[in-house]
């Protein structure tokens, strides 16, 4: 079951809390316990990974509120002159991302309707990147200034982030963030403090890109992302060199590692995955295909040339238990 309108759902719970019958149960079990029980109804199985995920936040709500939060974030950074304009680096990131999106859509066809956007944030000290629900992305200049990342390594970063969105990890984290705040919000609504639900949703979108991913989510994004990059013509071996560079940074660990915890034996796993992806990479290099414009595009989606979905993708990409080896 998925809630078609999360804000309406929260309002409904608040009204229920106000009712005479529910007051008894709130007093007996406590509001957090009742919220947790209600959240169980929001669990669903991801069609790409086969894993059960908490999905209190609906897909439409996650996409729309992520877009609103992203617009606000980029607006604030723009006032500080931290959003790079059409520099060669920005053009290269867009080129790389467009190539990745071609194959992302083959994994998840509904992503063709996302309004993809990517920005380069001028912050040399920050090594990080993210992709919100609906394809709103950013990468920080520290990736080049601190890591000296190659194009292939940037493709691994962006492929990994796109994979989080494809596998609904960002929506899952929004649900966690929203569910945590919902306890306070429902109580406030029940006590007549006003409707805070819409504001909380945008806050959840921001928190979702700041919360650490689970190791399971990281492993899923590693596998999907390295295949996206290989099919787009970027060397799978660069996934290993990227993480080696991350690990060698001195001082405080990069922000990317704080939000992307490393699964056990990650380097070995990436090397193994890279070897499996090598045929896709060699095929892409031998037969390069120009990618249509997706990021920061204004043209209608139906004007783009979308390739057919990858055959058997949902059955092959992730298999439950495969990541725990």
- Give the active site residues: 161
Burial classification of residue 68, based on how many CB atoms lie within 10 Å of its CB (0-12 exposed, 13-18 middle, 19 or more buried): middle
Exposed, middle or buried, 163 (CB in 10 Å: 0-12/13-18/19+)? buried
Distance CA 37, CA 56 (A): 12
CB 72 within 8 A of CB 261: no
Q: Taking a C-beta distance cutoff of 8 angstroms, is the pair 106, 308 a contact?
A: yes
The answer for residues whose C-beta is within 8 angstroms of residue 145's C-beta and 6 or more apart is 124, 125
Residue whose structure tokens are 């066809």: 109
The residue to which tokens 């399971």 are assigned: 216
Say what angle helices 6-18 and 20-29 make with each other, to 10 degrees: 90
In angstroms, the CA 7 to CA 24 distance is 24
Report the alpha-carbon distance of residue 174 to residue 48 in Å, rounded: 19
Cα distance between residue 205 and residue 198, in whole Å: 11
Task: Count the alpha carbons within 13 Å of 8 in the hemisphere toward its beta carbon.
Answer: 6
């Amino acid at each position: 079951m998925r809630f078609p309108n999360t804000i309406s759902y929260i309002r409904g719970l608040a009204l229920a809390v106000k009712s005479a019958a529910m007051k008894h149960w709130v007093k007996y079990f406590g509001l957090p316990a009742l919220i947790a029980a209600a959240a169980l109804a929001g669990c669903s199985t991801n069609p790409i990974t086969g894993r059960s995920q908490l999905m209190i936040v609906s897909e439409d709500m996650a996409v729309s509120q992520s877009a609103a939060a992203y617009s606000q974030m980029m607006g604030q950074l723009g006032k500080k002159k931290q959003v790079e304009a059409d520099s060669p680096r920005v053009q290269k990131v867009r080129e790389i991302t467009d190539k990745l999106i071609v194959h992302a859509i083959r994994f998840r066809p509904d992503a063709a309707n996302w309004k993809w956007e990517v920005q380069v944030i001028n912050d040399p000290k920050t090594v990080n990147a993210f992709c919100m629900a609906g394809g709103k992305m950013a990468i920080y200049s520290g990736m080049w200034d601190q890591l000296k990342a190659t194009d292939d390594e940037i493709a691994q970063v962006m492929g990994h982030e796109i994979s989080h969105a494809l596998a609904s990890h960002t929506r899952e984290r929004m649900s966690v963030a929203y569910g945590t705040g919902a306890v306070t919000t429902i109580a406030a609504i029940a006590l007549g403090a006003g409707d805070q639900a819409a504001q909380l949703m945008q806050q959840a979108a921001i928190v979702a890109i700041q919360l650490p991913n689970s190791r399971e989510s990281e492993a899923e994004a590693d596998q999907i992302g390295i295949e996206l990059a290989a099919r787009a013509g970027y060397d799978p071996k660069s996934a290993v060199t990227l993480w080696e560079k991350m690990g060698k940074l001195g001082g405080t660990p990069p922000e990317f590692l704080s939000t992307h915890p490393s699964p056990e034996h990650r380097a070995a796993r990436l090397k193994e995955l890279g070897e499996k992806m090598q045929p896709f990479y060699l095929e892409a290099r031998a037969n390069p295909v120009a990618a249509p414009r997706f990021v920061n595009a204004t043209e209608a989606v139906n004007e783009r040339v979308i390739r057919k979905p990858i055959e058997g993708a949902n059955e092959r990409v992730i298999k439950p238990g495969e990541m725990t080896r």
